[in-house]
Copies of this chain bind each other. A is one copy, B any other.
Amino acid sequence: MRDRFLRAGRRAPVDRTPIWLMRQAGRYLPEYRALREKYDMLAMCRAPELAVEVTLQPLRRFDLDAAILFSDIMIPLRGMGVDFEIKHSVGPIVANPVRDRRDAENLRVVEPERDVPFVMQAIRLLRRELDGKVPLIGFAGAPFTLASYIVEGKPSRDLLRTKSLMYGDSAAWHTLMDKLAASVSAYLLAQIRAGAQAVQLFDSWVGALSPRDYRAYVLPYSKKIFDALSATGVPRIHFGTGTATLLELMQEAGGEVIGLDWRVPLDQAWDRLGDIALQGNLDPAVMLAAPEIVEQQTRAILSQADGRRGHIFNLGHGILPNTPIENVERLVEIVHSFVVETLR
């Protein structure tokens, strides 16, 4: 198996810097858009054969070092009793948002094999299809980020309802976060049992919080999940955006790999965090620019890694729908050629 992604996750030496891209199976690919004309996004997540096909699409085009299951962080929530749809070019809309303690108490804890068996089935099929060529990453949303969708009821910039519940009704907040932590733990464990060889916890919106609030209201729940997974031995990636002042606390919560957005220079993050692997961190907006800009910014990041072990190249957030295919090809080439030049 091409195992440089897993090796980097353990900070073992690698021949080249591994690269994968958040949302690599997604809308920038014409073959994905062609399928989306026929199927609804959630339907594609729920049909194992379609999820497998979409997961494999980017691997046929690009020399990527990992596959990531095609799914959505909202998928397990229906099993908790959260009724949602994904509205095109808006995002998740929740019909029954959680606004008080009773709402939170009414949520169930996910039982993966009962609620989302199609996810594990897709993982098992994928492991067969991938046939050891590259490792398969499973993933889930982190409790805070999932709570933000469940409480707001829709995507929100300021997360004011979420923060108001957090500050104003700590019984409701802790009930909600407890159930999310238990659900996400069970969900990721089931993915690992089904064959996921690494997992990423997406706390995409946690950058809305101060370190003080992260420690009080979020860290204990994310930590429960990482603790629940530690015996599995699979690399655990802990990702968020806007997290420049949260990195040490995210490290404390857990993960072998911390995922960075583009706002934190890779070398500064490493100086702060010490012995840990880092994933990132090209601004996805750079991928809309001319190939020279992509090359220049990619090389700058690779230079900051400075030959340290444990760098997994990625964008700082999901790849954008209008990213040119040629830029992705070029990016993968640059990342794979750079390490050879400098580390051999």
Q: Which of A62-70, A139-147, A210-218, A333-341 contacts B (4 or more CB under 8 A)?
A: A210-218
In the complex, the answer to whether B283 meets A210 with C-beta atoms within 8 Å is yes
Known: A210-B263, A210-B265, A297-B212. A288 touches B167 (CB 8 A): yes
Known: A157-B157, A207-B263, A263-B207. A286 touches B242 (CB 8 A): no
A35 within 8 A of B: no
Max count, chain B CB within 10 A of own CB: residue among A157, A265, A283? A283
Query: Closest 3 interchain pairs by CB?
Result: A244-B244, A167-B289, A163-B285
The 7 listed contacts between A and B (C-beta, < 8 Å) are: A157-B157, A158-B320, A160-B320, A167-B293, A207-B242, A211-B263, A246-B263
In the complex, the answer to whether A212 meets B300 with C-beta atoms within 8 Å is yes
Copies in the complex: 2
Shortest A28–chain B CB gap in Å is 13
Q: Which residues from chain B contact A207 at a C-beta distance below 8 Å?
A: 242, 263
A290 within 8 A of B: yes
In the complex, the answer to whether B263 meets A244 with C-beta atoms within 8 Å is yes
Chain A interface size band reads 20 to 34
Binding site for B on A (CB under 8 A): 157-160, 163-164, 167-168, 207, 209-213, 242, 244-246, 262-265, 268, 283, 285-286, 288-290, 293, 297, 300, 320
Known: A283-B210, A283-B213. A160 touches B288 (CB 8 A): yes
Max count, chain B CB within 10 A of own CB: residue among A167, A264, A265, A300? A167
In the complex, the answer to whether A268 meets B245 with C-beta atoms within 8 Å is yes
In the complex, the answer to whether B285 meets A167 with C-beta atoms within 8 Å is yes
In the complex, the answer to whether A289 meets B160 with C-beta atoms within 8 Å is no
Q: How far apart are the CA atoms of A293 and B293 in the complex, in Å?
A: 46
In the complex, the answer to whether B245 meets A264 with C-beta atoms within 8 Å is yes
In the complex, the answer to whether A163 meets B210 with C-beta atoms within 8 Å is no
